[in-house]
Amino acid sequence: MGEESELAIAAVRRYAAALRCIQSRLFDAYPDVDGIKDLMVAVRHEKTLPRAGTSSTGVEYAVHGAGCQMIDELGRMVDVDVVDDVEAFDAWRIRGFLDEQSHARPSIEELRTACSHLASTGELVEVRAGRWYALPDRWRKGD
C-alpha cells in the first residue's frame, strides 16, 4: 500500500474510534436509548428528548433528517445517518471530521477506498456497496 492509502486508512480508523467513544458516552447518559434510531424516536415521536442538546456526559447532539451529529467536549464532531436501519457513515462524514481534527486530509475517493479495504478485513461493515459503512458493533440490521 502507498503512503496515501495508509494515511486514509489511519484517518478512517481515527473517525471510527471517535465515533465509538462519543456514541458510547452519549448513550451512557440516556439508558433508554440504545442507538441513533432510538434517539430519533425519543426526539420525534415520544418527544422525551429535545432535537438538540447536551448530555450529562458532555456530548452535544443534534438530530437531523436521517441521523445525528455529535460533538464531544474536545470539539470532535462525528455524524451518522440511519441507512437501511443501520447507523452508517460515508466518506463525506469522515472528511468533515478530518477537516476539524487533522492536517492530513485524504480525498473522498481515498477515504472510500480505505473504507472498502477496512470492510474487507472486518474492521467495518459495508452497508451499501462503495458508499455507506458501519462499525461492526453497531451493525444491527433489521433491529
In this predicted model, what pLDDT tens digit does every residue of 63-77 receive, in sequence order? 999 999 999 999 999
Question: Which residues, other chains included, contact 96 with Cβ-Cβ below 8 Å and sequence gap of 6+?
Answer: 77, 79
Across the chain, mean pLDDT equals 91
What pLDDT score does 2 carry? 74
What pLDDT score does 131 carry? 95
Residue 139 has pLDDT above 80, yes or no: no
The interaxial angle of helices 108-120 and 3-29, nearest 10 deg, is: 70
What pLDDT score does 86 carry? 92
For residue range 7-32, list pLDDT tens digits in order: 999 999 999 999 999 999 999 999 99
- Predicted TM-score of the model (pTM): 0.90
DSSP letter at 34?
Answer: -
Instruction: Please report, for residues 6, 48, 67, the alpha-carbon distance to residue 36 in angstroms, rounded to integers and kept in the order given.
Output: 30, 14, 7
Residue 140 has pLDDT above 60, yes or no: no
Please provide residue 88's backbone torsions phi and psi, each rounded to the nearest 5 degrees. -130, 160
Residue 97 has pLDDT above 50, yes or no: yes
Q: How confident is the model at residue 142 (pLDDT cuts 50, 70, 90)?
A: very low
User: Residues, the chain, total?
Assistant: 143
Map out the domains of the chain as residue ranges.
3-138
Percent of the chain predicted with pLDDT > 90 = 83
